[in-house]
Chain A
Amino acid sequence: MPKKRQDAAEEFLKGLWRDNPVFVQVLGMCPMLAVTNSAVNALAMGGATFFVLVASSFLVSSLKRWIPKQVRISTYIIIIATFVTVTDFTLQAVVPVIHKELGAFIPLIVANCMILGRQEAFASKNTVSMAVVDAVGMASGFLIALFALGSVREILGDGALFGISLFGPNFEPWVIMILPPGGFLTLGLILLFFNWLKERKDRIVARLDEMEAEV
């Protein structure tokens, strides 16, 4: 089944890069900016979101036949909330230090519009395996975005990565980057970079079209 495999790869890459939930769609910012002040927190948050998204996509797509259309959104929210509660208690038991650091932002994964969006836009309309592939792609894209944001902020704001000092004692940390304003600024600058990439690509495509027309 080469065609099916190709589709799956396409769905996966879509979440990872072309429709990246954070950098392209700008979704799920609420629980994201607050916890990306260090790379470890960003990874923990990304991992938690990963589990919740994949598990809920799996459940929603396997139950799609029995979910009445009128109450589908509330059903999705309850499914998501259940998995978030599971994640919350698991993190509390396994890594209490990180759980304390992330605090109230773990339960707030429920309000991440990206997760609900994937259920409504994809999982409720596709087969179980496709829904899982889509969820894994989107969640990986989210995880990578969080990690990028978290490591940029930690390197600039603390002069360290994963708590290991990078620049030696002479580095003057840029404290504002690990404070809330740094989250807004970093994401703003990253989006700017993506705009620039897109515009450059559009320009190249336009040039190629022109050249073709001349020929």
Chain B
Amino acid sequence: MNELVWIFVSALLINNFVLAYFLGLCPFLGVSGRLQTSFRLGLATVFVMLITALCSWFLNTYVLVHAPYLRLISFIVVIASTVQFIEMVIKKASPALFRALGIFLPLITTNCAILGLAIFATNKGYGFVEGMIYALGAGLGFTLALVLMAGLREESEMAEVPRLIRGTAMNLIIAGILSMAFTGFAGLFSGA
């Protein structure tokens, strides 16, 4: 049990996908302009990450033991097609949910955070339950980073910032400061 909590907190805060591993930076910088949108993108990412963990566990256990060199290709193909399939099911079954998350699903299918999750979970040798917990922590950590960033950016819209620094340069510096704050979590479990 303790092990699972540790995996979750580690993926959520200490090894945050965006702020410590630099994964998923494209949506992080592209979509974090508005608070509402980033929250929904975050939830869609949690959803895709859970599917990813399921797929990669299945592939690792049943398929890739026979052909490890196909790991990368099969991860991409299987994850992308599963997400597309589930997208169609949601569209049919629950139009409301589709409107909330649907437009983001194709955007995040081959995002590096998704692929990174599959590869990290494989490298760490996680089983099914550990993999799912890891995906949940990583997804929520991504949402947390995105929402924090969106809040900061909405504030900075109001502030008077020199024209030269506006845009990506300022966003990266904000992200750097946020990331610095997150390094504070590094000692969280070392005392225990």
CB distance from A73 to the nearest CB of B (A): 9
**How many chain-B residues does the 8 Å CB contact rule pick out?**
40
Contact: A199 with B164, CB < 8 Å?
Answer: yes
Interface stretch among B50-58, B90-98, B109-117? B109-117
Most chain B CB atoms below 10 A, which of A34, A108, A182, A189: A108
Contact: A81 with B176, CB < 8 Å?
Answer: no
Given the complex, which residues of A lie within 8 Å of B23, measured CB to CB?
30, 34, 108
Given the complex, which residues of A lie within 8 Å of B115, measured CB to CB?
107-108, 110-111
Looking at the complex, which one of A81, A180, A181 makes contact with B76 (CB distance below 8 Å)?
A81
Most chain A CB atoms below 10 A, which of B22, B73, B110, B177: B22
Given the complex, which residues of A lie within 8 Å of B71, measured CB to CB?
85, 107
Residue interface bits B114-140, CB-to-A below 8 A is 1, else 0? 011001100100000000000000000
CB distance from A199 to the nearest CB of B (A): 6
Contact: B169 with A180, CB < 8 Å?
Answer: no
Given the complex, which residues of B lie within 8 Å of A110, measured CB to CB?
72, 76, 110, 115
With A77-B76, A104-B120, A110-B72 already in contact, the answer to whether A30 and B172 are too (CB < 8 A) is: no
Query: In this assembly, does B69 line the interface, its C-beta being within 8 Å of a C-beta of chain A?
Result: yes
A74 to B80, CA, bound (A): 10
Given the complex, which residues of A lie within 8 Å of B22, measured CB to CB?
29-34, 180, 183
Contact: B180 with A192, CB < 8 Å?
Answer: no
Looking at the complex, which one of A31, A176, A189 makes contact with B173 (CB distance below 8 Å)?
A189
Looking at the complex, which one of A26, A78, A179, A185 makes contact with B168 (CB distance below 8 Å)?
A26
Contact: A184 with B173, CB < 8 Å?
Answer: yes
Query: In this assembly, does B158 line the interface, its C-beta being within 8 Å of a C-beta of chain A?
Result: no
Contact: A181 with B112, CB < 8 Å?
Answer: no
What are 13 A-B interface contacts by the 8 Å CB criterion? A26-B168, A30-B23, A30-B26, A74-B80, A77-B76, A78-B77, A81-B72, A104-B116, A111-B111, A180-B183, A185-B172, A189-B169, A191-B172
Interface residues, chain A, CB within 8 Å of chain B? 26, 29-34, 74, 77-78, 81-82, 84-85, 88-89, 103-104, 107-108, 110-113, 176, 179-185, 187-189, 191-192, 195-196, 199
